[in-house]
Each structure stands twice: as C-alpha cells, then as structure tokens.
C-alpha cells in the first residue's frame, strides 16, 4: 500500500550539511521489500536512459561509524541515496539559470527504519520555477519505483 507524505526534513537527515536549515521533501511509503524498491528505482532511472552515477550507502556508513561518534542509536535498517543526472534537462534548467548547478546531480533516497516493515522513498523538493521540471521527473521515477 502506498502512502503519500509531504514532510519537513531536518538538516541532519540524509546527507544534508550540518548547517542546513529545515528543507521540504517529497516522500512515499510502501510495504514493498527494500530490495524490490531499490530494484524498481534503478529500473525507473535506467529505463529513461539515465545512468546512476553513484549510490551512497548512508545507512551502512552511519552504522559503521556509530560507535566512533559515541552514539548507540541505530537510525536505519537500510538506507541508500541514488544520484544521477539528465544531460538534456540539466542543460535546460541551467540555461534558464546557470546557478541551478547547485541541484545537480539529482538524488533519490530509499530508507527503512529498524523494526519497521515500510520503506520510504523520496527526494528533496525543488524551488518553484525552472526546477519544477526536475521535481516532476523525480516524482514520476519514485512513483514508478513503488508501483505494485
């Protein structure tokens, strides 16, 4: 079952710099297995002709360094961030405003909290205007990834 959630992501959530302000995000929850969600995400990205540039294994990193930073909190059972770009769309939004470079590459996260059966998938929202084409793209990819 899919549930839509619009939420505020605190600066400490998934890859946000320590000095960041609260930021909007778009996320969906699903009862699909984590592996099915990540497979669906990779397929939705590559089926559009995009290449996954990098997968950040955020959950593994946080767990590996948990004791080193003096924490006993397990944040995620699994959590990854998929980064990719679209040459055509990136050029389009950067020709409109070269400073839209700040949004590239595009990231979609997949996360599962300890003891939970649901998986959350989502992305940071983009400002109104030219970047909405990218927000629409990411929303389509995320929804496709969790179609049952």
Tell me if the domain spanning 3-145 has CATH number 3.30.310.70.
Answer: yes
Q: Each residue of 55-83: pLDDT tens digit? A: 999 999 999 999 999 999 999 999 999 99
Tokens 């990136």, residue? Answer: 90
Is the whole-model pTM more than 0.85? no
* Distance between CA atoms of residues 15 and 12, nearest Å: 7
Between strands 78-84 and 52-56, the pairing is: antiparallel
Domains of the chain by residue range: 3-145
Q: Each residue of 109-144: pLDDT tens digit? A: 999 999 999 999 999 999 999 999 999 999 999 999
């Amino acid at each position: 079952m899919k549930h839509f959630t619009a939420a505020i992501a605190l600066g400490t959530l998934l890859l946000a710099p320590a000095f960041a302000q609260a930021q909007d995000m778009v996320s969906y929850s699903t009862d699909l297995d984590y592996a099915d969600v990540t497979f669906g995400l990779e397929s939705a990205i590559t089926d559009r002709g995009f290449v996954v540039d990098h997968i950040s294994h955020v959950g593994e990193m946080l767990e590996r360094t948990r004791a080193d930073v003096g924490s006993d909190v397990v944040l995620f059972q699994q959590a990854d961030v998929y980064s990719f770009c679209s040459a055509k769309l990136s050029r389009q939004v950067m020709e409109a405003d070269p400073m839209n470079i700040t949004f590239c590459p595009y990231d979609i996260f997949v996360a599962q909290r300890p003891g939970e059966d649901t998986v959350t998938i989502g992305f940071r929202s983009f400002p109104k205007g030219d970047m909405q084409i990218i927000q629409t793209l990411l929303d389509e990819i995320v929804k496709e990834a969790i179609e049952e």
